[in-house]
Structure 1
Amino acid sequence: MSEDPRAAPLRTAVIVGSTRETRAGDGIGRWFAALAAGRDDHEVDLLDLAAWEFPARRTDTPDAAVTAFTRRLARADGFVVVTPEYNRSFPAALKQAVDYGFDEWQAKPVAFVSYGYRWAGRYAVEQLRSVFTELHAVTLRDGLHLDLRDNAPDGADSGDHADGTAFPGDAAAEDRHRVAHRMLDRLSWWGLTLREGRAARPYVG
């Protein structure tokens, strides 16, 4: 008998999209990955793009790093993209990484954790929605948006604690946890539903 696709936790890839030397994304990404990993319905795979040595130019034959990265994408049932907003858009490194996959994204849900100043990364998310729509992915309506004016992480200390006490750790932490868990509830619903669908019949791409 084949394994019931509803039995296993959702394999959730958390992708940290910033590769800048000084960035808030690594701390935010670790904080969110730890929060998701503390649940019974998500099996978390943290993919920090700063740790990947991708080629400087795209070649017809993928190298070992690209192959390893796309295999991790293929294994995932759903995704959380952690993105900053740079000049009302998202980082070039994130676009490069997204473009390495195609079939790996199809018929899978994508949620967003964004951060920035004033608009908290919402412009980056809106542009990412159109990219993932082109890749036949399903984007969640509501995400987690962090305004760094209110929640400025302190360099390398941001998000170092698995319980989230370093970031976010101010008076609004309870509300952010609530929003994050609500988003993960919906990601789990979409991820399990689409996983069952892919198991029942191949997606028509």
Structure 2
Amino acid sequence: MPKLHVILASTRPGRAGEPIADWFVERAIDHGAFEVELVDLAEVALPFMDEPNHPRLRRYTQEHTKAWSARVDRADAFVFVTPEYNYGLTAPLKNAIDFLHFEWQHKPVGFVSYGGVAAGTRAVQMLKQVVTTLKMVPLFEAVNIPFHTQFIDDEGAMEANDVMVKAAAAMLDELVLTEAMLAPRRAAIREAEAS
């Protein structure tokens, strides 16, 4: 079963991303096509880029980079759960992406975004430029949550509406198809790198 990493991009205390990510992880598990892992960037706790070599060389000197590399390498697909900060993506997510290079390549990526009226879509537009540069494949389907605080109850849990539930299912279906199409290419590249 392919591995899906759901990456929680916000690291702020009291972040709304936590219940949103938990909700999406439940949807992904219920979908049944992936082995799902939540990757919380607050727990990963990468410092700002501190490697002396370009990531494409894979000559990592820091243990946290080696651990991050192995974790990302294990994944077959990703979903980024991200807010929008000042019309853009979060610094911790950009930093986490920039630590690596080949580990991201030829893997599909979906987006669950949240915010005010724009629902985090401007952050996603910026992310699409970043991920395509790394040869990732961004999905067409996405989950966009406008005015997200209205969907978080008094206990701090996400209460999604039908639009969000259908969008999550559509994105997961697309993720399955895209991952299946890309898997042979990834296998061929790994084999070529090993020889």
1:56 deviation in Å? 4.4
Work out which of the residue numbers 191, 194, 197 in structure 1 matches 2:179.
191
Structure 1 counterpart of 2:92: 93
| Distance change (3 Å), C-alpha of 1:149 and 1:99 | closer
Structure 1 counterpart of 2:18: 26
| Distance change (3 Å), C-alpha of 1:139 and 1:57 | closer
1:52 deviation in Å? 1.7
1:63 lines up with 2:51 in the alignment: no
| Distance change (3 Å), C-alpha of 1:149 and 1:110 | closer
- How does 1:89-128 map onto structure 2 within 5 Å? 89-128=88-127
SS in 2 for 1:151: helix
Alignment-mate amino acid for residue 71 of structure 2: R
Residues 105, 135 of structure 1: 8 Å contact kept: yes
Alignment-mate amino acid for residue 158 of structure 1: G
| Distance change (3 Å), C-alpha of 1:183 and 1:108 | same
Residues 3, 75 of structure 2: 8 Å contact kept: yes
CA distance in 2 between counterparts of 1:149 and 1:177 reads 14
CA distance in 1 between counterparts of 2:49 and 2:183 reads 33
Identity %: 36
TM-score (norm 1): 0.83
Structure 2 counterpart of 1:175: 163
CA distance in 1 between counterparts of 2:27 and 2:62 reads 33
CA distance in 2 between counterparts of 1:57 and 1:40 reads 35
CA distance in 2 between counterparts of 1:71 and 1:149 reads 33
Structure 2 counterpart of 1:54: 46
Structure 2 counterpart of 1:4: none
Residues 28, 158 of structure 1: 8 Å contact kept: no
CA distance in 2 between counterparts of 1:127 and 1:69 reads 23
CA deviation map 1:65-89 (0-9, x unaligned):
2222221110111100000001100
| Distance change (3 Å), C-alpha of 1:136 and 1:149 | closer
Alignment-mate amino acid for residue 176 of structure 2: S
Q: Which has a greater percent of helix?
A: 2
Alignment-mate amino acid for residue 22 of structure 1: G
SS in 1 for 2:150: coil
CA distance in 1 between counterparts of 2:135 and 2:80 reads 16
1:23 deviation in Å? 1.0
Structure 1 residue runs of 5 or longer lacking an equivalent are 1-8, 160-166
Structure 2 counterpart of 1:35: 27
Residues 14, 44 of structure 1: 8 Å contact kept: yes
Residues 153, 159 of structure 2: 8 Å contact kept: no
CA distance in 2 between counterparts of 1:147 and 1:44 reads 25
CA distance in 2 between counterparts of 1:176 and 1:183 reads 10
Alignment-mate amino acid for residue 180 of structure 1: A
1:35 deviation in Å? 1.3
Q: CA RMSD in A?
A: 2.0
CA distance in 2 between counterparts of 1:57 and 1:113 reads 25
Count of residue correspondences: 185
Residues 109, 139 of structure 2: 8 Å contact kept: yes
